[in-house]
Amino acid sequence: MHQRACATDKGRERMTNEDFILCSGTEDLYVVADGVGGHNSGEIASRMAVEYIDAYSKKNPIRNVLDEKALMEYFSACLEGINQLILRQSVQGGKNAGMATTVVLAYLTEKDKAYVVNIGDSRAYLIRDEHLLQITEDHTYVNELLKQGSITKAEAKNHPERNMITRAIGGEEKLIPDFYTFDVYPGDRILLCSDGLYNEVSSEEIRGLAQEPRTVDEFVKELVRRANLYGGKDNISVVCIQVMQQKKENVNE
């Protein structure tokens, strides 16, 4: 069993929390969803997404999926189900019109492998030794401009369209998630978060905090505290999983 800690906070300026998280230690499946849409529809979309993933994983135990290709098909089918569910709610109009959500999820196998899937701008990071590596790529208009070389990182930080998402669950019929897989080792930490964290706390500061002697729970609480300290302009969600040494069965000679 890996150590884990999770927290979600509405921040200092938002009236409601439209983030939703899943911290499933039994399945080693973790999710951060950040809802978008008017009224309370963002909150509805993110909650629907996380509850669907939770129910799907219980109905179709992920431990029964044994290879990488099958896992990608598993998550693709799961996310497609969420997409269609949210689209059906959205097209009915009213307060749910246009609702959608980002999703970033991580699954750790018993064989020291991590699988990350994302759509939108919620992120996954890998913290290893003194390094902080961003695993996912933001699906945003500003990130597209950055990749094209049209703007600098400094310009991106204050760009008027920095919150424009180019991919989201419930955003359109065709869903295109990104998949990542990598080996993990004892001591590694996987960090999932909504943009309410990384827009307030820099990558360099997150990396520095990870080097200090804190438990996973203390680390998560400090990240949320600092995001609020620096403004807390958005909802803040953080999930951190620390990879532990796998227990080996005793073998009788």
Query: Does position 232 have pLDDT exceeding 90, yes or no?
Result: yes
3-class DSSP assignment, residue 45: helix
Asked whether residue 64 is domain-assigned, the answer is: yes
Q: Residue 162 carries which side chain, given as an amino acid letter?
A: R
Asked whether residue 30 is domain-assigned, the answer is: yes
Q: φ and ψ at 136, to 5 degrees?
A: -90, 165
Q: How many CB atoms lie within 10 A of CB 90?
A: 20
Q: Provide the pLDDT for residue 70.
A: 94
Asked whether residue 247 is domain-assigned, the answer is: no
Q: Provide the pLDDT for residue 1.
A: 64
The CA-based angle 5-117-121, given to 5 degrees, is 80
More confident residue, 64 or 147: 64
Asked whether residue 93 is domain-assigned, the answer is: yes
Asked whether residue 251 is domain-assigned, the answer is: no
| Confidence grade of residue 12 (pLDDT, cut at 50, 70, 90) | very high
Render pLDDT for 170-219 as a digit per residue (tens, 0 to 9): 988 999 999 999 999 999 999 999 999 999 999 999 999 999 999 999 99
Question: Containing domain of residue 148, as a range?
Answer: 3-242
Residues 6+ away with beta carbon under 8 Å from 203: 125, 132, 134
Sign (positive/negative) of CA torsion 231, 232, 237, 238?
A: positive
| CATH code of the domain containing 220 | 3.60.40.10
Query: Does position 26 have pLDDT exceeding 70, yes or no?
Result: no
Q: Tally the domains of the chain.
A: 1
| Confidence grade of residue 43 (pLDDT, cut at 50, 70, 90) | very high
Long-range contacts of 65-71 (CB under 8 A, 24+ apart): 68/115, 68/181, 71/107, 71/115
**pTM > 0.85: yes or no:** yes
Asked whether residue 250 is domain-assigned, the answer is: no
pLDDT over 70, % of the chain: 94
Asked whether residue 47 is domain-assigned, the answer is: yes
Q: Provide the pLDDT for residue 251.
A: 35
pLDDT over 90, % of the chain: 71
DSSP readout, 46-111? HHHHHHHHHHHHHHS-GGG--SHHHHHHHHHHHHHHHHHHHHHHHHT-GGGTT-EEEEEEEEE-TT
DSSP readout, 210-239? HHSS--HHHHHHHHHHHHHHTT--S-EEEE
3-class DSSP assignment, residue 44: helix
18-32, 109-123, 155-169, 205-219: least confidently modelled range? 155-169
Query: Does position 249 have pLDDT exceeding 50, yes or no?
Result: no
Asked whether residue 252 is domain-assigned, the answer is: no
Sign (positive/negative) of CA torsion 197, 201, 207, 209?
A: negative
| Residue among 239, 222, 200, 181 nearest 12 (CA) | 200
Secondary-structure percent of the chain, ordered helix, strand, coil, rounded to 5: 35, 25, 40
Question: What DSSP state is assigned to residue 113?
Answer: E
